[in-house]
Amino acid sequence: MYASAIFGFFLLVLVIIMLYRVYSLDKVERDNRVTVKKFLEDYEALKPSRYSYADVKRITSQFKDKLGQGGYGTVYKGKLSDEVFVAVKILNNSQGNGEEFINEVAIMGTIHHVNIVRLIGFCADRFKRALIYEYLPNESLEKFIFSRAIKNYLLSWKKLQEIAIGIAKGIEYLHQGCDQRILHFDIKPHNILLDHNFNPKISDFGLAKLCSKEQSAVSMTVIRGTMGYIAPEVLSRNFGNVSYKSDVYSFGMLLLEMVGGRKNIDVSVESSSQVYFLEWIYNHLDIGEELHIRIEEERDVEIVKKLAIVGLSCIQWCPMDRPSMNIVVQMLEGGDKLTMPPNPFASTVSTKTNLSKPRRVFQ
């Protein structure tokens, strides 16, 4: 009887162990199913959805709240639900051959980065085309760096540095983080949007171009970009091949505009001041003089100097002399003292003469 009791006890323990293992395996399987389901839901949510034009009118409340207007279309504020706001760009039928629409959907629908605007959906309903993006309440960087007379729009130099680093990381992702390299060709303050925490997000991929990472140059039949931000080689092949370094040039111009608080081409100021403004920045730094630009704290001086030096490095006329965005990020984040780059404003004659002299070449 004693032996049968021991046997019964071991049998009970064995049954309990087996039941526990079955329960554990079942729980793992249930957890796996939940994980897969969540992944599929998230994946589906990340893919841009297609909307009808009737949906677009409903989302925008019959185009009630206009946010802005540009050459390619008009942007309205919309609402997908009580908590999800969006920005809806209605594309002009008269502009282009649909290339911007195709670029935006094809490129933005496949990339995801914290510093790139998310494309939520699109509309292609007969002749009506629209793009639906996440809504960013602080609008564009342009408002904050060209409106310094308005006190509420002022951003600290620390915040401007963080914004510059975020933009640089976004461009670096486009150049190196995707299956194919993406050249934006229209980096400028207007196309940098800011979320509620002033985190920057690159927008407007209508002029973007795809190429392989091994491709050292891209062919172009038309000039892409906005005057004042277009790299010299995009305008004339005499300055070199068009490549990802063209985006670096545009980013450099953006940085210098952040430093100066004004456009690099500004029709509202006297021509003599306009032409020499960026060169004025270079000359002051070159001879060790301070840039007497809105400084509120002692540490601001070093931030301004860093942004200016990185910007000047990025706008070198020869593409080979510009750093890659990977190096730009390191320069902006690093604590090391940066050295002055060559003068990018030297005359064409002196530039040609200096081609034979040793120079720093960035890869």
Task: Give me the phi and psi of 73, to 5 degrees please.
Answer: 165, -175
Q: Was 352 annotated as part of a binding site?
A: no
Residue 257: in which H helix or E strand, if any?
A: helix 245-260
In the numeric block, the tokens 């003292």 are attached to 337
The neighbouring-strand residues paired with 49 are 121
Residue 235: in which H helix or E strand, if any?
A: helix 232-235
In the numeric block, the tokens 């120079």 are attached to 359
Smallest Cα–Cα separation from 192: which of 280, 255, 262? 255
Of the candidates 31, 179, 186, 195, the residue annotated as catalytic is 186
Alpha carbon distance 360, 321 (integer Å): 6
Smallest Cα–Cα separation from 122: which of 69, 60, 58, 49? 49
Buried b (16+ CB within 10 A) or exposed e, 168-194: bbbbbbbbeebeebbbbbbbbbbbbbb
Alpha carbon distance 264, 270 (integer Å): 13
Distance between first and last Cα of the chain: 85
The neighbouring-strand residues paired with 140 are 193
Task: Specify the pairing of strand 119-125 against strand 49-51.
Answer: parallel
In the numeric block, the tokens 């699109």 are attached to 122
Task: Specify the pairing of strand 181-183 against strand 128-134.
Answer: unpaired
SS3 state at 209: strand
> Is 55 one of the catalytic residues?
no
Per the CB < 8 A criterion, the answer to whether 93 and 101 are in contact is no
Alpha carbon distance 140, 198 (integer Å): 10
Alpha carbon distance 204, 60 (integer Å): 20
SS3 state at 81: coil
Q: Which sequence positions are flagged as catalytic?
A: 186
User: Which residues participate in the annotated binding site for ATP?
Assistant: 89
Summarize the annotated binding site as residue ranges.
89
